[in-house]
Chains A and B, each alone.
Chain A
Amino acid sequence: MNRFADLLDLLAFTPSRNAKLALLQDHFRTVPDPERGYALAALARDLDIPSVKPAQLREMIGARMDPELFAYSYDYVGDLAETIALAWPENETRREGGNDAPGLAEVVETLIASSRGKGAALVEGWLDRLDPPGRYALLKLVTGGFRMGVSSRLLKQALAGFGDVDINEIEELWHGLEAPYIDLFAWLEGEAEKPVNAAAAPFRPVMLSHAIEDADFEKLDPGDFAAEWKWDGIRVQAVSERGVNRLYSRTGDDISAAFPDLVDGFGFEGALDGELLVARPVNGGLETGTFSDLQQRLNRKTVTAKQLREYPVFLRAYDLLIDGGTDLRKLDFVERRERLEPFVAKLDADRFDCSPMLEFASWEELAAHRAAPPSAVIEGVMIKRKRAAYVPGRPKGEWFKWKRDPFLIDAVLMYAQRGHGKRSGFYSDYTFGVWRTDEELVPVGKAYFGFTDDELVRIDKFVRNNTIDRFGPVRSVRAGPDEGLVFEVAFEGINRSSRHKSGVAMRFPRINRLRWDKPPAEADRLDTLERMIDAPR
């Protein structure tokens, strides 16, 4: 258990993506089968083992420790699993370094083989044999409380790097594999052939676009390209093969369970690429919901009847990858599109439609479309080469996104936090606010990029010279009508949020410009932001 516990702790404290990749690869290299595979499955939350409820954990610790001492401890630590892991009374054998601690493989295999009701008793026995890091890892494993900042994409990237294979190969295989992934590791280590994905309805790695630059237009002939709206939902892939229906995120996570309203009624054989949106039936037509409506349905494992009723989801198709048993990915975009339209026409119109194509003869005409989108749920246009095959990843010169201009506001720097790694020693994470009244700033967002290294040095200097208070790594800086630093902040959208003091939450905020010249009193007011919510542009 200790190798796994060490890995969890290292991952949890490591902010850099590259360093996380190195840790994972180091683990795959040094830990044997089947343990490394179970670690991978645990991080990918792909282990089907009996879970232990917080109430059961409280009962266990309550039987072993004075409740008052436990209460003091929990109050200090603030996390139930961590408190129990640290405070679990140890018997003499353990304290003298008794070494019969179970390994991760033993724990996982025993749990898989046992009935649902036995989990708690097994865990209690193991807690007596493990040390505090081992106990912590065990409790996180059985309570499913992993928040290690490790996405499935990162895991796949680590595997690709470990075996020196293309990440798309891993993604295509992923959903056909089972813990502890013996075949996969054997292939990645060059000991065996690539496993064959026998699973129905696998994920096909998606094709992505580059942001278009002004200079690109001169080089590109509008006649070679088709264009469509860029919808502001989430990119998904809907696959139905041999009676198996699955909905995948663009990174290949299976998100079917959260969207039964869509997935249960696919009614096709093939694989569609499209945008997941909320769409409500209104007067015989459909009204597309905003991104904040869609957020009511995102990042959930399950869904309630009320959410299904109020936020029904809908798929707006961009592309057809598999039609029946035929793989279309080698075909040109226009050929795929020709097959897409009749394909979608046969589907439930309350759940599927085709993203309409935009007619244009010049880039100026396309610019006019972009400037006047027919819906607030559009975040720009997509430009796709008519003769482009569907290539996984981000091939150059094939697809471009031309996003609408971001929202811009002027906000005042309020707090700054120290950075990590290369930004150690610099205050590089900024919280900024706008005026609620003439005197009172309210924080509305955080940003930590969008400025150059030279600008960072100047902002850092400003923070140090204008600190009025410190809380751990955070400094509060001078910010009033006549003193302070104004940022022009760019962001993609704004929603109401009950979790933020200001009542609003920005999407993807970043520093657009530093306004050393601007008096803070002239920064924007909160009501300006409120008016931006759901406002058409």
Chain B
Amino acid sequence: MPPQDLLAPRPEGLYCPPGDFFIDPVRGVDRALITHGHADHARAGHAHVMATRETLDIMAIRYGADHAGQTQPAGYGEEIRIGDVTVRFHPAGHVLGSAQISVEANGLRIVASGDYKPRPDPTCADFEPVPCDVFITEATFGLPVFRHPEAAGEISKLLRSVGRNGDRAHLVGVYSLGKAQRVIRLIRDAGYDKPLFIHGALQKLCDYYQEQGIDLGDLRPATVAAGSRGDFAGAIVLGPPSAFGDKWARRFPDPLIVFASGWMQVRARARQRGVELPLVISDHADWDELLDTIGTVAPGEVWVTHGREEALVRWCELSGIPARPLHLVGYEDEGD
């Protein structure tokens, strides 16, 4: 079976004809397999959804319990038959519940890795390389300039800045699923145990992570009720970056804008967003990790999707690995 008969791009998303399902479809379909809970991968309105227990929970938190007609949880490593196809979910190390989906039929195995991160993350299961014939990799940070430093070092920059600027509130921009909880956990691991203040958009997902046994320490709502302006002096406040241009930001004393994202590697990007302290913390593989992962998985062929496909395809060519871009639409490359 040629691999494109097992998985092929369609306008709705990646489609598997022998199993009649889509992976991360961008619009409502009959049967969807979802890699993880970020909004551009997990949407409401499918008839049947299969995902990890955590991803299903996250979808229910974001879209309501009735986001899909029927849901079916898949455990990591569990073998599931769909028609003539065997699928397995494997940890992707991206956010809590994130999975790569291995699709196998007639001795041919394709792994759709979704978004992934091979480095350890205390808030989710470690990425697991899965040998396969075709490896579908993301390329969000698929340029040689993207080399994410150790996250702990970035967090210590934040804490040093807090120490230097005791009269200001640090507003840390984090996406609400995954990045927020990871950054909080890293702050705790660095020995900071004072209360952290969070924007309302982070509350439910932080609560969920805590319920799943990921200790985030003392989190308090960053509301005016929590204190007057002066009470936020020296505080660390986390919220979605979009909130910082909002009136919400005015309640804090002389805010110092921080943004935790892989995009902060490039100075012009940080400046463009008006960031005063950029922290390079990403939930995606950086360039070196993309190359190492392809080397470890050792697939017969690489398909490259959302991001800077051309550079990674070029590297595969130079390394003698057959590769092609997979032009999927609808996935944001900004969300990190």
Which A residues have a C-beta under 8 Å from some C-beta of B? 6, 10, 12-15, 19, 22-23, 26, 65-66, 68-70, 72-73, 76-79, 82-83, 86-87, 89-90, 95, 131-132, 418, 420-422, 424-426, 472-473
- Chain A neighbourhood of B265, CB < 8 A: 86
Residue of A nearest to B288 (CB): A95
Task: Please tell me if B1 contacts chain A, counting CB pairs below 8 Å.
Answer: no
Interface string of B238-257 (1 = CB under 8 A from A): 00000011111110101111
Within B246-285, which residues are at the interface with A (CB < 8 Å)?
Answer: 246-250, 252, 254-257, 265-268, 270-278
Structural contact, A424 and B250, CB atoms closer than 8 A: yes
B147 → chain A closest CB, angstroms: 6
Structural contact, B165 and A72, CB atoms closer than 8 A: no
Structural contact, A86 and B144, CB atoms closer than 8 A: yes
Structural contact, A86 and B249, CB atoms closer than 8 A: no
Structural contact, B268 and A77, CB atoms closer than 8 A: yes
Complex Cα distance, B310 from A421, in Å, reads 39
Complex Cα distance, B170 from A461, in Å, reads 25
A15 → chain B closest CB, angstroms: 7
Q: Which of A13, A14, A69, A76 contacts B314 (CB 8 A)?
A: A69
Complex Cα distance, B71 from A360, in Å, reads 92
Are A82 and B245 CB-contacts (below 8 A) given A69-B315, A421-B255? no
Task: Please tell me if B318 contacts chain A, counting CB pairs below 8 Å.
Answer: yes
Task: Please tell me if B145 contacts chain A, counting CB pairs below 8 Å.
Answer: yes
Task: Please tell me if B149 contacts chain A, counting CB pairs below 8 Å.
Answer: yes
- Chain B neighbourhood of A69, CB < 8 A: 143-144, 311, 314-315
Structural contact, B308 and A132, CB atoms closer than 8 A: no
Could you jot down 22 A-B contacts, CB within 8 Å?
A10-B277, A13-B277, A15-B276, A22-B164, A22-B165, A66-B315, A68-B314, A69-B143, A72-B310, A73-B143, A87-B143, A87-B144, A132-B149, A418-B274, A421-B254, A424-B244, A424-B252, A425-B250, A425-B255, A472-B272, A473-B245, A473-B274
- Chain A neighbourhood of B56, CB < 8 A: none
- Chain B neighbourhood of A14, CB < 8 A: 276
Complex Cα distance, B334 from A472, in Å, reads 12
Complex Cα distance, B257 from A19, in Å, reads 13
Task: Please tell me if B22 contacts chain A, counting CB pairs below 8 Å.
Answer: no
- Chain B neighbourhood of A422, CB < 8 A: 254
Residue of B nearest to A19 (CB): B165
Structural contact, B308 and A79, CB atoms closer than 8 A: no
Complex Cα distance, B39 from A38, in Å, reads 49
Interface string of B293-325 (1 = CB under 8 A from A): 000000000000000101100110010000000
Structural contact, B311 and A73, CB atoms closer than 8 A: yes
Within B121-150, which residues are at the interface with A (CB < 8 Å)?
Answer: 143-147, 149
Complex Cα distance, B257 from A83, in Å, reads 25
Q: Which of A66, A79, A131, A424 contacts B267 (CB 8 A)?
A: A79
Task: Please tell me if B111 contacts chain A, counting CB pairs below 8 Å.
Answer: no
Task: Please tell me if B34 contacts chain A, counting CB pairs below 8 Å.
Answer: no
Are A83 and B145 CB-contacts (below 8 A) given A425-B248, A425-B249? yes
- Chain A neighbourhood of B149, CB < 8 A: 131-132
Structural contact, B266 and A424, CB atoms closer than 8 A: no
Structural contact, A12 and B311, CB atoms closer than 8 A: no
Structural contact, A13 and B311, CB atoms closer than 8 A: no
Structural contact, B145 and A76, CB atoms closer than 8 A: yes
- Chain B neighbourhood of A86, CB < 8 A: 144-147, 265-266
- Chain B neighbourhood of A83, CB < 8 A: 145
Q: Which of A19, A77, A425 contacts B246 (CB 8 A)?
A: A425
Structural contact, A66 and B271, CB atoms closer than 8 A: no
B271 → chain A closest CB, angstroms: 7
Task: Please tell me if B171 contacts chain A, counting CB pairs below 8 Å.
Answer: yes
Structural contact, B247 and A472, CB atoms closer than 8 A: no
Residue of B nearest to A70 (CB): B144
A340 → chain B closest CB, angstroms: 47
Q: Which of B164, B266, B276 contacts A76 (CB 8 A)?
A: B266
- Chain B neighbourhood of A70, CB < 8 A: 144
Structural contact, A13 and B278, CB atoms closer than 8 A: yes
Are A425 and B145 CB-contacts (below 8 A) given A15-B276, A79-B268? no
Q: Which of B143, B164, B276, B308 contacts A13 (CB 8 A)?
A: B276
Q: Which of B165, B245, B277, B311 contacts A418 (CB 8 A)?
A: B245
Given A14-B276, A78-B268, A421-B168, 20 new contacts (CB under 8 A): A19-B165, A66-B315, A69-B143, A72-B310, A73-B144, A73-B311, A76-B143, A87-B144, A89-B144, A90-B288, A131-B149, A132-B149, A420-B274, A421-B254, A422-B254, A424-B250, A424-B254, A425-B249, A472-B274, A473-B272
